[in-house]
Amino acid sequence: MPTLDLQPLAGARFGRHVRVRDAHASADAIETLEAEAEALTGAFYEGHGFLLLTGLDVISSDPSQLVRLSRLFGPEVEDYTKTGSALTRVHPQVPEILVISNKAPMNQAPPARPTPPLTADGALPVQFPQRRGWHTDQSFRRPPPDISLFYCVEPAPIDQAQTLYADGISAYEGLSDAMKARIAGIEALHVQPGTGRSEVAVRAGETPQPLGPLQQPQRQPLVRVHPVTGQKALYLCESGQLDWIEGPIIGMEKGPDGAGAALVYELMSHFTSPPFTYVQEWRAGDLVVYDNRCTIHSATWFDGDSHERVMWRTTVRGNPGPEYADEPPSWLPAA
């Protein structure tokens, strides 16, 4: 009879590694995860909102299984065709799956090549702290999504295209009492990437784009109280997903050289330091489940000219917490 094997996540101080033992068929693994949903979600929250599940090759041949598993983590799985995502990035048969790939028709460029360049043996250096691109999914919506599932269909070479994750619960607990008091009740201003309001765009003097009704900057707390565990966690992005014109921090000096920016990078330097981080080296069939309410992540470079990479993502909503009580979901399309 198949059983769950729940272990600490190697290489991290948070998270859990999940395997299904004695599954004689791929479908057995999915059914076992469903049957053990309480143990699975319990491990998820005990691990500060992070799971690595391995050996789920069945999802590649039947992508509906990713949506099936997503429903174990929340009541609403986003239909990307109804929430403003570019249709070329949505799975053609399963609208709840966002495809992240450099293959056609997505043709997404890989993240920027790292600085410093590759090490002498050709390995990709993982940069801590403050590697560019740290964010939580769709923080520019209010309420933002609760949980994401990220699945590897076709990986790049093992020393490329890692995803970096950071634990906001442990990072908050590691702050000084003075810093905890300083950031209590403070909000950052989050905005959709590509609208000309990022730190890089502001420094380059780009003209910001007019913002539509669903693109308006959203205030989000620097510290979130988790609605399931009651734990406090840092909730913050950097550079591309904060508004560096009117923000990044509400009530503090604006712009990339102001006091708000200094606070962002003081916190991000701490948040993304090695004690609170994990590096995921992707293999086909790997599935990572991460809690956007208490983790952030960042992509790393891969050689898109030589390798094709395909990843699938779902997002789950329904329990954003007390900060968002009685707020309508801003991600719904206009009536």
Are the beta carbons of 35 and 69 closer than 8 angstroms? no
Low-confidence spans in the chain with pLDDT less than 70: 23-26, 84-87, 114-131, 330-335
Q: Give the pLDDT score at 238.
A: 84
d(CA 109, CA 252): 35
pTM score of the predicted model: 0.93
Domains of the chain: 3-111+122-324 (3.60.130.10)
Q: What is the mean pLDDT of the chain?
A: 90
Note the pLDDT of residue 38: 97
Position 116 scores a pLDDT of 57
Question: What are the pLDDT digits (tens) for 276-290?
Answer: 999 999 999 999 999
Segment holding 41, helix H or strand E: helix 37-46
Whole-angstrom Cα Rg for the chain? 19
**Are the C-beta atoms of 236 and 270 separated by less than 8 Å?**
no
List, for residues 79-123, the tens digit of each pLDDT value.
998 876 566 789 999 999 999 999 988 899 988 776 655 555 555
**222: alpha, beta or left, given left = phi > 0 and alpha = psi -120 to 50?**
alpha
pLDDT at 84: 64
3-class state of residue 267 by DSSP: helix
* DSSP bridge partners of 59: none
| Separation between Cα atoms, residue 140 and residue 189, nearest integer Å | 8
- pLDDT score at 215: 84
Alpha carbon distance 328, 325 (integer Å): 9
pLDDT of residue 227: 97
